[in-house]
Structure 1
């Protein structure tokens, strides 16, 4: 029996709502690649985007691990893995072949590598053959998963985690010991920061993130440990009580860490080394910046989890509906963003009206498709990560422990 945690469900909903704004921002932030870019890009958007970027995906991987931990899969881990993969794989495949296909089409037409005509494009796309170079992200494979890369990663992560659970049972390994607070608190504060610093300082320069699954060592090194840690901490009440108790401290430390990273970035853009003086210029600023980034990632996660447990662990009236809607909205939202932007760009709207319309149309589109199609058509529901029953017959919410 899955233990319901209202704070985790609510946190997943809020994280996804933020994801819509983040992916809209990707179309408007200057200097960052995206599948389709507006002409109205702005350099200043990099600062709030960096603040979100550092913990956005780590939070979602950790939430997924927590959700699996709350599901108590220890009794039948391989059955759990099979069921979970059975619910993840159809949305991933359907998303790649249908939902994400329109993103590839819009990108290809916009950059002049694909001819107009969605029908002809789909017939070619479904053959899964390489496209002309630069047609769209993933052209060399003939197909792409774009924002659905998270589902592709969650599949092997779930199997690997259940493998570890099975191994621990086979070897009769004891549960995590109850460490004294004087040891547990520093360990939970420092060890994840040290690991994140290793990922950022050593792994990332050698293996930049690709979201291609195979060989994406930085993302794996950062995400899988958080996924496992979420599973281990899910039902550790001492951890949650500690996160709540220290939420103000971790918040202050997180602000200090991201402030350090942003300040160093700002100085690097606007100042020359000669202006700093010989002593300051000789400091390892890149190492300091990356270390601050690593600290911010983990401190932000602790802060978010602590505040969510403190404020959101209650049965909000809107929560069951929103929890059911999260997975379909996740699958749909980026395709809607790109399609709407593709339609609006020829109208040459101003820099405020265009993104406002993109956000509004994306929300309305997700709401309408979920409410009037996905939620009511039985065969559509598994393709969007929901069980094959309609909203009218559902007696309780049962959704995947995600999404991104």
Structure 2
């Protein structure tokens, strides 16, 4: 079976990780940051939460969508045992390593900054996402491999016909609306280590898989409707901001979240589905940077917050320090030290590869099934 290379999905993953870094820095400048384990600025910048609130209801669901999409490409040349082995190496190993060796480092910084007792605290923290993804793979692998074997069967044709319909995007929102109503989370945007986050991620993961399983029909749909989706997403956000103080009912949050995600997919498919040298590099760096970026956020806050620097200036500096520090650690250490690579989800041997599609970097969009080598690192971001 011929698989189209999907550079746009890979770009969206990279961009989502970049936005995540900024989002996490912004939390340190909120008056409630300390209550969820961040070093908090004594001079909050609450105004920056207005643009951040656009992101906070779709940034994590988007990554679950993309991770589900990645599994479809991964199973094209793997059986279920090979998939679980590959995901154990790419997800479970970095997850366990991060809990034991990465997260305790920024917890140490938090403890020292607030003069708490210094102790070793293994914790998933921001890596909770990886644990969820691994569980989803285990739970849904039987379904996914059944769909792979029966892509031309009744269920496969039904999914394709469903997603080809111009109203299908409304139907895709229904499971997300029901999840919000049933879970009734205290705060919709609190995904980490909550049943709401687990259920929402499961729905998004499965939906993302189905979107690529259906082929081009979904992508043509979102591309065609991208401006309408964007307009409605902005309207829903303005309603949330102006009339509900950013706290609309959960079913409206779910609708707005889906609108933003479909908008991003539509514009990405239209403008980002092309190869790039930068993409080859950044798609490799994104996963390790996701794992280590919190350390640099905490170091930046630890050093700069006691200084007499304006809050906005500090915000900019911490963002730059986090990005540069994370990328330098990836480039100079993680990428080059053989035994560290698998601990951060990279192959032991350096290989040029694309996350979605074949690993060859030629300009051809397709390759023969016999020669193609699909190698996907699900960000499990």
Q: Give TM-score scaled by structure 2 length.
A: 0.85
Aligned residue in 1 for 2:205: 227
Q: Does 1:102 align with 2:79?
A: no
Question: How many angstroms apart in 1 are the aligned matches of 2:259 and 2:191?
Answer: 25
- C-alpha contact (below 8 Å) 1:3/1:71 kept by paired residues: no
Structure 1, unaligned runs of 5 or more: 116-120, 126-141, 269-285
Distance 2:376 2:331 in 1: 16
Secondary structure in structure 1 of the residue aligned to 2:305 = helix
Q: Secondary structure of the residue that 2:123 maps to in structure 1?
A: coil
Distance 2:148 2:10 in 1: 29
Q: Which has the higher contact order (CA 8 A, sep 6+)?
A: 2
Which of residues 166, 169, 178 is equivalent to 1:185?
Answer: 166
C-alpha deviations, 1:20-68, integer Å up to 9, x for none?
1111111112345442211121222232121100100000000011111
- Alignment equivalent of 1:258, drawn from 227, 232, 237: 237
| Paired position in structure 1 for 2:365 | none
Q: Give me the CA root mean square deviation.
A: 2.6
Q: Distance in 2 between matches of 1:162 and 1:181?
A: 22
Please tell me whether Structure 1 or Structure 2 has the larger radius of gyration of its CA atoms: 1
Per-residue CA distance 1:228-257 (angstroms, 9 max, x = gap)? 111111142111111101101111111111
String of CA shifts for 1:319-338, please: whole Å, max 9, x gaps.
Answer: 10111111111111111101
Matched pairs, number: 354
Counterparts of 1:2 and 1:329, CA distance in 2: 28
Question: Mapping of 1:69-108 within 5 angstroms?
Answer: 69-73=72-76, 76-108=79-111
Alignment check: 8 A CA contact 2:300 2:321 kept: yes
Contact 2:103 2:124 in 1 (8 A): yes
Query: Is 1:402 paired with 2:379?
Result: yes
Corresponding residue number in structure 1 for 2:268: 308
**Which residue does 2:15 correspond to in 1?**
14
Given candidates 295, 303, 312, the residue that maps to 1:343 is: 303
Asked whether the 8 Å contact 1:92–1:152 carries over to 2, the reply is yes
Per-residue deviation, 1:90: 1.8
Give 4+ residue runs of structure 1 displaced > 6 Å after superposition. 169-173
User: Which residue is 1:368 aligned to?
Assistant: 328
Which consecutive residues of structure 2, in runs of 5 or more, have no partner in the other structure? Answer: 355-374
Compute the displacement of 1:307 (Å): 0.5
